[in-house]
Amino acid sequence: MKSYDAFRPILAIESSCDETAAAILRSPGIILTSLIASQAEEHARFGGVVPEVASRNHLLAIDPLVRRALEEAKLSPQDLGAVVATSGPGLAPALLVGASYAKGFALALDLPYLALNHLEGHLLSPFLGEEKIPHHIALLVSGGHTQLTEVRAASDYTVLGRTLDDAAGEAFDKVAKLLGLGYPGGIEIDRLAATGDPAKYPFPKALMERGERENLDFSFSGLKTSVRYFLEKNPHLAKSTDGMADLCASVRHAIVDVLIQKTARAVESSGLNEVAISGGVSANKALREGLRELCQTKGWKLHLPAPELSTDNAAMIAFAAIHHLKAGESSPIGQEISPQWGVGR
């Protein structure tokens, strides 16, 4: 198999959940094309992602999407320098589609193949295009993951805290389902919360106690339970415009306030002065505004991904992969997917 040629663009494929994505990047992070085939409408019928439905749709979408990506980039397969695919964490049937396609593509063209961690793609997304990743604290917050990580450089990570049950995005979706809202729920709650009172209902904020050792882990399952009991006692609120707005604003505040406070604790403990946020929930307006205000007050530098790089996409996978490929790393074609693959120590 050929070694990686840094002067050639790379093809990246992302299929960890319900988005089929393909991107072609040229080093250090020039996006030649980035495409996403969304399945959101189909999964909305079920109120959440169904793995078997996701994998079937990945199978239908992936080859036309890659062909279109090459066409938009005005490239042929022979112009590529490497092929990369998300190999975990994620839904096993979905990961298998993308990784298998990428392996076959690389094998047919005798190109280097790299299996990449989906979380690493998110972690580095705020720095897309930069040669060097600064030492910083990263808040990664999505539908399946919520964690605080110390990032010293690309490939050098230490997880400081993670969710013990539901991730923040999962909590938004589950509460939205209780409220009878659509999927994905976080977007609906964020929209309705804009006109509500965030202090109206004091929903619980778990694991916020301070002790000798700062607790940087997260837990959001209790919030969902609290909302369910609250709705059983006050069903009329979910049927009123003002009541729904206040409910959504209060739920959003309960989640976002925990995220912001724990991020502040992590940065203060580390002695660093740079913060990054990534993942689908990083698009939440209250979270972005709250972190901007925090960083302005503390004199910290805040790094945010472009809106199109907040949700799952292949451009972030390609950018993270470039750092590994430049270091001479690649993966054996026989490497298996790893649905529970964590990142960092």
If you write DSSP's letter for every residue of 19-76 in order, what string do you get? EEEEEEEETTTEEEEEEEEE-HHHHHTTTS--HHHHHHHHHHHHHHHHHHHHHHTT--
Residues 244 and 164 in one domain: yes
Provide the domain limits for residue 95.
Answer: 10-126+309-326
Residues 103 and 120 in one domain: yes
pLDDT at 47 (0 to 100) = 74
pLDDT at 212 (0 to 100) = 41
Burial class of residue 42 (count of CB atoms within 10 Å of its CB; 0-12, 13-18, 19+): middle
Q: Is residue 342 part of a domain?
A: no
CATH assignment of the domain containing 159: 3.30.420.40
Tens digits of residue pLDDT in 2-25:
788 889 999 999 999 999 999 999
- If one counts the domains in the chain, the total is 2
Q: Is residue 49 part of a domain?
A: yes
Tens digits of residue pLDDT in 274-290:
999 999 999 999 999 99
With 90 as the cut, is the pLDDT of residue 217 above it? yes
Q: Is residue 4 part of a domain?
A: no
Q: Is 254 helix (H, G, I), strand (E, B) or coil?
A: helix
pLDDT at 308 (0 to 100) = 87
pLDDT at 55 (0 to 100) = 92
Q: Is 326 helix (H, G, I), strand (E, B) or coil?
A: helix
Tens digits of residue pLDDT in 308-321:
899 999 999 999 99
Q: How far is the C-alpha of 115 from the C-alpha of 53, rounded, in Å?
A: 23
Q: Is 12 helix (H, G, I), strand (E, B) or coil?
A: strand
Residues 108 and 145 in one domain: no
Residues 277 and 168 in one domain: yes
Residues 92 and 174 in one domain: no
Q: The tokens 């109120």 sit on which residue? A: 47
What kind and span of H or E run contains 277?
strand 274-278
Q: Is residue 261 part of a domain?
A: yes
Residues 151 and 118 in one domain: no
Work out the average pLDDT over 148-174.
94
With 60 as the cut, is the pLDDT of residue 211 above it? no
Of all residues in the chain, the percent with pLDDT exceeding 90 is 82
Residues 175 and 272 in one domain: yes
User: pTM of the entire structure?
Assistant: 0.94
